Amino acid sequence: MEKLIITAAICGAEVTKEHNPAIPYTVEEIAREAYSAYKAGASVIHLHVREDDGTPTQRKERYDECIKAIKERCPDVIVQPSTGGSVGMTSAERLEPVDLKPEMATLDCGTLNFGGDEIFVNTENMIKEFGKKMIDLGVKPEVEVFDKSMIDMAIRLCKKGFIKEPIHFSFVMGVNGGISGDLRDFIFLKESIPCGSTYSVAGIGRFEFTLAAASIISGGHVRVGFEDNVYIEKGVLAKSNGELVEKVVRLAKEFGREIANPTEARKILGLN
């Protein structure tokens, strides 16, 4: 079985210090949390950035600042900017960090009802636009799927030349409006991707570690972090992203999976 790639989603766009005081906003805080995750065993940092007051932003200047600060502490880590941004941002805003030519960036493959009046919009033409830009700039997409239909969209657009094979999927499970975090649905997604693809699983909230264990056992990879869950166990706030990563490392050890370092992760993901 391949070594386990651990991705740390260190801050997201929606969680705040009111949810957990350790949520990073500033460049220094973001670098601190990235280092805590990297030191614990994460080889990929899934990155949203904030202004100092916590406001989500996709400004490439802010991304550049944060990536440089992360790389000072973790020179070999893979930094994966989000192109999801936050609800209501334009395509142009969301694509800004791709201009920095990171090794990877996320590519959301469908629209989702986040709750209330919030809709995370990703039309087919938007997905094509994002995919083409990533191909043009040599950025590997991590295809974010919140439901099975988004796998179908990715496969269809891959055949049309907007996404390159092999595809790396991220199953984001347990989000309001998306697929549940049930093990049944994890198996459904896992068995729906093309042969030769890789996948990682992000369980939201209470699903985080159950799905992490399922992915470890099944040969997939794992995403954890404050974006997805602020608790280390029921009712106990995590002190850092590193603490969440450490828990996954312990699970991997129990199940006999070795942890991939960034060099090994690049080989598995085809980034070399």
**Per-residue confidence (pLDDT) for residue 73, from 0 to 100:** 98
**Per-residue confidence (pLDDT) for residue 88, from 0 to 100:** 87
Q: Whose CA is closest to 189, among 159, 161, 152?
A: 152
Residue 118 tokens read as 């919030």
Q: Give pLDDT tens digits for 156-179.
A: 999 999 999 999 999 999 999 999
CATH architecture, domain defined by 6-269 = Alpha-Beta Barrel (3.20)
**Per-residue confidence (pLDDT) for residue 116, from 0 to 100:** 87
Q: Give pLDDT tens digits for 196-243.
A: 999 999 999 999 999 999 999 999 999 999 999 999 999 999 999 999
Residue 229 tokens read as 């869950």
Residue 48 tokens read as 């949203």
Q: How far is CA 70 from CA 98, 216, 230, in A?
A: 17, 27, 21
Domain ranges in the chain are: 6-269
Residue 37 tokens read as 């995750």
Give the chain's residues under pLDDT 70. Answer: none
Residue 266 tokens read as 């690049």
**Per-residue confidence (pLDDT) for residue 64, from 0 to 100:** 98
CB 178 within 8 A of CB 146: yes
Residue 20 C-alpha from the chain's centroid: 19
Say which residues have a Cβ less than 8 Å from residue 20's Cβ, sequence separation at least 6: 226, 230, 237, 238
